[in-house]
Structure 1
Amino acid sequence: MDDFTPKQMQHMVAKIRRHFNTAYITAVILFGFLVSFNEDVAMAMVVTSSGPQTLQKAHGDAVTLGCTYSPGPLDMGDLDIEWSVISPDTTQKDQLVPVWQVISYTGGRKYVHSNPALMTGLDFAAGNPANGDASLSISAVSAANSGIYQCKVKKAPGADMRKISLVVMERPSAPRCWVEGGEAVGGPQSLHCRSAHGTPPLAYQWKREIGGPIPSAATQESLTGELKISNHSESFVGIYTCQVSNVVGKEHCKINLRALKPPSKAGIVGGTVVGVLLLVIILLIVVWLVVYRRQPRYDKEVSNEIREDVPPPESRPTSRVSSHHRGVAYSPVGGASQLPSSSSTSFSATKYEYDSRFGYAV
């Protein structure tokens, strides 16, 4: 490469200086613009809360939606605070999203708006929201409080806002634990755990409190709450705890798993024989009681029938010697009856009839 002449060197240095001056002036102008912009921003209203944008709470919990703010020195207008619930559809533009006002503060006064279902236990967290804290508190949330809340703070000319999503869920109810399979050694077993209520997804987990961890041969399903044992043995014996949980709460139940040895075949046969013998004896006793209770009644009926069919006895032959029997006079055949004289003991004649039940006259 040929060497530059002094004249060419002077021309190149002058050109570099011109480019440097232009770049310097541009940088100074840009820096001044950025400083001026940041000063304007720093002097405007700013919502300073920095908590989570999504809150998940259980039914009945208390919650505070943070919205602290700091006005700028140029914000001289009236303070205006507004809490509202907006549509959860994030695909729509803000100006087209339906908005329901909940509570507001303007002109030094608090105003409560419509929708009583949202207003139960709802108020500003601070006594006076004009002191830099416009947070919203709800004493006991319910399903009606779920939604996207927007806090907007304005003090002309400054204004700022913040959105918080509140999700109200239901804790799992106390689960029920039970075992299927009879707990017999050598057979399949399954432990079940089920919670009747709770916002899904619900996660189930089995643990053994006594006897160490659950043997690796057992498998459990976290979504259904089932613990499967393909071949039950004494190594699985112990107290098991099932815990069901979701993002807002958890509950548990316990069960004692035993290992029962199956009965021997000789015992089963012996028990069957004894049972059959006892059944035969009971049947014989029942038959004997039925026959025994019916026999006296049968004899009495037969006796009564014989007595009723007995013919009346023949007339008694009269004695040649008259006699007196219960006021009845008997005299020889063909003789005339003699009535007692007036000096004899008086009696009255009585008429008797034959009674077949007894076989003689009464």
Structure 2
Amino acid sequence: CAWTGLLSNYQCMLTHCVSGHSIKFMFEIEPCLYSWCADVTLAMTVTSSGPQTLQVAQGEQATLNCIYSPDPEDMGELDIEWVLVCPDTTRKDQVIISYSGSHKYFHGDPSFMNAVDFLASDPVQGDASLVIGSVTVTHAGTYQCKVKKAPGVDMQKLSLVVMERPSVPKCWVEGNEAVGKPVSLHCKSDEGSAPLQYVWKRESGGPLPPSVNPNSFLGELLIYNYSMDWAGTYSCEVANAVGKQYCRVNLQVIKSPNRAGVIAGTVSGCLLLIIIILIVIWLIVFRWERKQYDVFAMSFREDAPAPNNRSTSRGPSSGVAYSQMSQTHKKQSPSSSTSYITQSYIKSDSKYGHIV
């Protein structure tokens, strides 16, 4: 049966083959011919003024819109129900809050329900929106708003995505900021829900050249041939759907040193170092030779023979000489004990003729 009309009447055409000939039958049915047609009419309508998927930063307030419009024929008792849809279709959905018989009812875990309530003080006025005071990761999910007022009934589903704002990023420079060398600017945020987008901007010195292609996912800005034109202050913006943060970095220019001067300085430094090493070695050798010379001279003096016949030149008799010295010492010494010590220790050597 092929239905060919859906406006006022329904038409059905049947085709049957008999002895190679095609026979067509057509009949028409008027809709709502019986009283049961009125029972399936859905007069209640539920709409949402906001997006179907709501992205909210963690800790902020989330409002899930649910605006309903009953039909004048809907004369039954108003019944509102908010349900957190379970991702597992084999498990039951969790009823969060409901309104029936002019009373509000809270369901579920108290820790989950502390911040949940109807937005309007009186949901009877056509606003059944749900508000969550301070959202956390546990509040993320798909919510269903169901409004029933017999004989009308309708429902609406909304998705709540809880995201974390990006943290303040860190900006740094990699590479030598010398002319002609490659330099890369980096920007990284340690916290924040993906996806994170990085955008580099030049605050001073003009806009970025068209040839530069920053990596918006890694936060990298690569400069292959660094020059004076790149100097200035750069800012990095990291953002996601619920927030953004910034950091700045100052890019300077360091002129490349003269290679000839560097080579000359290196050679001069090496030569100076060699000269200093040679001087130190010469001083060490000189001191060692000087020490060896002093040791040899001292041993030579100790081995030399003493002079002979010195007694004949000093006087005819050694006893007379010591006698005179003893008498002289007696005159100068104030005590007799000192004189005795002097006389006892002063002796003459008859062999060499001198005092020992």
Same topology, TM > 0.5: yes
Aligned counterparts of 2:208 and 2:38: Cα–Cα separation in 1: 62
Q: 2:255 is matched by which residue type in structure 1? A: K
8 Å CA contact 1:323–1:330 kept in 2: the answer is no
What's the counterpart of residue 45 of structure 1? 44
Q: Structure 1 pair 68/184, CA: closer, same or farther in 2 (3 Å)? A: same
The structural deviation recorded for 1:97 is: 5.3
Equivalences for 1:67-106 in 2 at 5 Å? Answer: 67-88=66-87, 92=89, 98-106=92-100
The structural deviation recorded for 1:196 is: 0.9
Aligned counterparts of 2:103 and 2:193: Cα–Cα separation in 1: 39
Q: Structure 1 pair 26/55, CA: closer, same or farther in 2 (3 Å)? A: closer
The structural deviation recorded for 1:51 is: 2.7
**Equivalent of residue 217 in structure 1, options 186, 191, 211:** 211
Aligned counterparts of 1:124 and 1:201: Cα–Cα separation in 2: 32
What's the counterpart of residue 168 of structure 2? 174
**Equivalent of residue 334 in structure 2, options 321, 325, 328:** 325
8 Å CA contact 1:179–1:190 kept in 2: the answer is yes
Aligned counterparts of 1:276 and 1:38: Cα–Cα separation in 2: 110
What's the counterpart of residue 149 of structure 2? 155
Q: Structure 1 pair 122/271, CA: closer, same or farther in 2 (3 Å)? A: farther
97-106 vs 72-81, greater mean Cα deviation = 72-81
Q: Structure 1 pair 329/266, CA: closer, same or farther in 2 (3 Å)? A: closer
Q: 1:162-182 CA deviation, whole Å, 9 max, x = no partner?
A: 111111111221111111111
The structural deviation recorded for 1:152 is: 1.3
Helix, strand or coil: the match of 1:219?
coil
Q: 1:45 is matched by which residue type in structure 2? A: M
What's the counterpart of residue 55 of structure 1? 54
8 Å CA contact 2:39–2:151 kept in 1: the answer is no
Aligned counterparts of 1:258 and 1:179: Cα–Cα separation in 2: 10
Aligned counterparts of 1:47 and 1:98: Cα–Cα separation in 2: 23
Q: 2:242 is matched by which residue type in structure 1? A: V
The structural deviation recorded for 1:140 is: 1.8
8 Å CA contact 1:219–1:229 kept in 2: the answer is no
Q: 2:66 is matched by which residue type in structure 1? A: C
Helix, strand or coil: the match of 2:112?
helix
What's the counterpart of residue 122 of structure 1? 116
**Equivalent of residue 207 in structure 1, options 198, 201, 208:** 201
> Taking every aligned residue pair, what percent have the same amino acid on both sides?
49
67-76 vs 160-169, greater mean Cα deviation = 67-76
Helix, strand or coil: the match of 2:249?
strand
The structural deviation recorded for 1:239 is: 1.6
8 Å CA contact 1:322–1:329 kept in 2: the answer is no
The structural deviation recorded for 1:39 is: 11
For structure 2, list consecutive stretches of 5 or more residues without a partner in the other structure. 1-7, 12-28, 284-321, 341-356
The structural deviation recorded for 1:225 is: 1.2
For structure 1, list consecutive stretches of 5 or more residues without a partner in the other structure. 1-23, 289-314, 332-362
**Equivalent of residue 221 in structure 2, options 219, 227, 230:** 227
Q: 1:241 is matched by which residue type in structure 2? A: S
Equivalences for 1:1-362 in 2 at 5 Å? Answer: 41=41, 44-88=43-87, 92=89, 98-269=92-263, 271-272=265-266, 273=268, 319=327, 325=334, 328=337
Helix, strand or coil: the match of 2:214?
strand
The structural deviation recorded for 1:73 is: 3.1
The structural deviation recorded for 1:197 is: 1.2
The structural deviation recorded for 1:161 is: 1.4
Q: Structure 1 pair 54/270, CA: closer, same or farther in 2 (3 Å)? A: same
> Over the residues paired in the alignment, what is the CA RMSD in angstroms?
4.0
Aligned counterparts of 1:104 and 1:252: Cα–Cα separation in 2: 43
Q: 1:36-64 CA deviation, whole Å, 9 max, x = no partner?
A: 9799847x333243432111111122111
What's the counterpart of residue 352 of structure 1? none
Helix, strand or coil: the match of 1:76?
coil
**TM-score, with structure 1 as normaliser:** 0.64
